[in-house]
Amino acid sequence: MKVDADVIVIGSGVMGGLVATQLAKAGKSVIIVEAGPRIKRQDIVERFRNSPFKMSLTNMKLQGVGSPYPDLPHVPSTYGDYLQQSGPVKYPTKYLRVVGGTTWHFGSALWRMIPNDFKLQSLYGRGRDWPFGYEELEPWYGKAEQELGVSGMDGQDESGHGGEAWPPRSTPFPMKGLEPSYLFKRLSELLGKGGYNPVMEPNGRATRPYGQRPACAGNNNCNPVCPIAAKYDGSMHIDEAERHGARLLDNSVVYKIEADDSGKISGIWYRKPDGSDHHLTANYFVLAAYGIESPKLLLMSSSERYPRGVANGSDQVGRNLMGHTGISMNVMMNEDVWPGQGPTELLVYLNNRDGDFRKDFPSYKIKVRNTVPTADYAASLIAKGVLGSRLDEQLKLMSARSLNFAIDFETLPLAENRIIPSKNKKDAIGLPVPEIYYSVTDYWHAGKAQGLRDFDNFAQLLNAKISKIDTSYQDRQHIMGTTIMGDNPRDSVVNRHCQSHDHPNLFIAGTSVMPSASCMNPTLTGAALSLRLADYMLKTVKV
């Protein structure tokens, strides 16, 4: 039977882009179907500059109105009220439904997990084990670092214990790390006295020309947009896939995956902004719509034969939603450290990334915020009536001395934390919006108690005065777990090859397959899994 393509990839973010590029390079005919529009960098940069609302990681409240990305009827922005929250803890994640996906606005942390992150259940009696260990993913991590152009510091103990280089790596970072700012040098000195080991974050910012990317110029604007494309984003792999012959359909919202009675996926349906419906067929399908839209689509694809939705024999689709639920602290230093200098992110503390304590409380990382804070401070000072010379003095003082530390805690896969298609709310083209139930357990609270102790230690070591502590379950926008991987078809959605247990010609790419979250940003792990998946499709399945 003639089909429209060898492979249809649903979603044009980093994961879909990586798989599509590998398949197209191997000569396969590939169609990438993306719900959102193509965007141009210069348009987003201009919209950011011209917007009265500037997003800032130090002021999450403003994020609701601050996105310079399109908010269209057929792909409502996640910054609005698109995501319905039904649980005791909000999960206000912000992903982008555009060609290139959420990496457009990610801070670009690209960490590897460490070996023990793969064995959470057998080592610590918590969560789940992966069906394979770190050593299986190691070469794919290396390839992903090449593909995404990671800059990082070789030789660091990324387990945070100040020991030898860890995790093991067979290849060095493609690029040297970014120059540390004065803030990092000074914090490392002061916090080092308390046994806190600084670790510099590997990230997706070029430190020399890399492919078509220039070196990072310290624009301090990874989120929401790098103005010069020094930072990796998924549109770069979409461009590459298209150069190798892949076809991209934008503004095409997939709303149904069809499976025949034998279990084979036979086609997809998508809807255009004008409401028209279209059908496509292929021999193989890769679902790469990230951790909310992918499970939503599978659950929306229910039929008489598959009443619980496609790929959902286990009833695990949409469940096990994980993230990094966090807390933060503001302090005032008694010396100038200028946190807003240089590129954003980079310095983290990982003393509690791994150890026997994971039986009792979760792994976590502590990071320091270093976005240029001027807009937040100006608004709050003026509101307080600070004007005249004092306004200039205070702006300078706060910019030099006010610091924000944030903690990201690992969370566990819980069946009750889930995403489902809303039963009562639809978007403008008649498709159900996502409804999210999220909660945290005592395990998380035990981590919070431990993290608060670190905050106290930090303030003492820095001779800083704590001005605010926020424990209101901050969301870090790292979606994981909703199409979880495992060897047992009864309790997992995909097998170790990211292949649906129920439908052998359906694969899922991205962080939604991760059986454990670790406390680290998951993009590189998703990318490594996606490259491994593409290799499996080409060499073993022979698509």
Three-state DSSP class for 150? coil
Under the binding rule (CB under 8 A), the answer on residue 48 touching other proteins is yes
> Going residue by residue from 169 to 208, which x/- string records binding to other proteins, judged by CB under 8 A?
----------xxxx--xx--------------------x-
Structure tokens, 355: 């150890």
106/361 with CB nearer other proteins = 106
Under the binding rule (CB under 8 A), the answer on residue 53 touching other proteins is yes
Under the binding rule (CB under 8 A), the answer on residue 219 touching other proteins is yes
Per-residue DSSP letter, 358: G
3-state secondary structure 117-137: HHEHHHHHCCCCECCCCHHHH
> Going residue by residue from 334 to 363, which x/- string records binding to other proteins, judged by CB under 8 A?
--x-x-xxxx--------------------
Q: Is 478 a catalytic residue?
A: yes
Q: Which of 88, 211, 308, 382 touches other proteins (CB under 8 A)?
A: 382
- Cα–Cα distance between 408 and 186 in angstroms, integer? 23
Per CB under 8 A, the segment of 102-110, 138-146, 258-266, 371-379 that binds other proteins is 371-379
- Cα–Cα distance between 412 and 323 in angstroms, integer? 9
Please list every residue from 8 through 47 that binds other proteins, using CB under 8 A: 45
- Cα–Cα distance between 187 and 193 in angstroms, integer? 10
Whole-number minimum distance, CB 395 to other proteins, in Å? 5
Contact 252, 99 (CB under 8 A): no
Q: Where are the beta strands (DSSP E) in 77-163?
A: 84-85, 151-152
Under the binding rule (CB under 8 A), the answer on residue 452 touching other proteins is no
Q: Name the residue among 476, 475, 503, 444 with its Cα closest to residue 317.
A: 503
Whole-number minimum distance, CB 105 to other proteins, in Å? 13
Under the binding rule (CB under 8 A), the answer on residue 139 touching other proteins is no
Whole-number minimum distance, CB 484 to other proteins, in Å? 37
Whole-number minimum distance, CB 123 to other proteins, in Å? 39
Contact 144, 528 (CB under 8 A): yes
Whole-number minimum distance, CB 396 to other proteins, in Å? 4
DSSP β-ladder status, 277-287 and 506-508: parallel
Q: How many angstroms separate the Cα of 510 from the Cα of each of 13, 84, 101, 159, 388?
A: 9, 23, 12, 23, 52
- Cα–Cα distance between 339 and 183 in angstroms, integer? 6
* Amino acid letter for position 19: V
Q: Which of 62, 72, 249, 395 touches other proteins (CB under 8 A)?
A: 395
Q: Which of 387, 415, 428, 449 touches other proteins (CB under 8 A)?
A: 387
Under the binding rule (CB under 8 A), the answer on residue 372 touching other proteins is yes
Q: How many angstroms separate the Cα of 451 from the Cα of each of 253, 323, 391, 408, 471?
A: 42, 17, 34, 9, 10
55/280 with CB nearer other proteins = 55
Under the binding rule (CB under 8 A), the answer on residue 229 touching other proteins is no
Under the binding rule (CB under 8 A), the answer on residue 403 touching other proteins is no
Under the binding rule (CB under 8 A), the answer on residue 216 touching other proteins is yes
Whole-number minimum distance, CB 334 to other proteins, in Å? 13
Per-residue DSSP letter, 231: B
Contact 138, 168 (CB under 8 A): yes
Under the binding rule (CB under 8 A), the answer on residue 85 touching other proteins is no
Determine the size of the site formed for other proteins (CB under 8 A): 52
Contact 140, 132 (CB under 8 A): no
390/425 with CB nearer other proteins = 390
> Given the rule CB under 8 A, which residues bind other proteins?
45, 48-54, 65, 179-182, 185-186, 207, 215-221, 225, 227-228, 336, 338, 340-343, 371-372, 374-375, 377-379, 382, 385, 387-393, 395-396, 399-400
Residues serving a catalytic function are 478
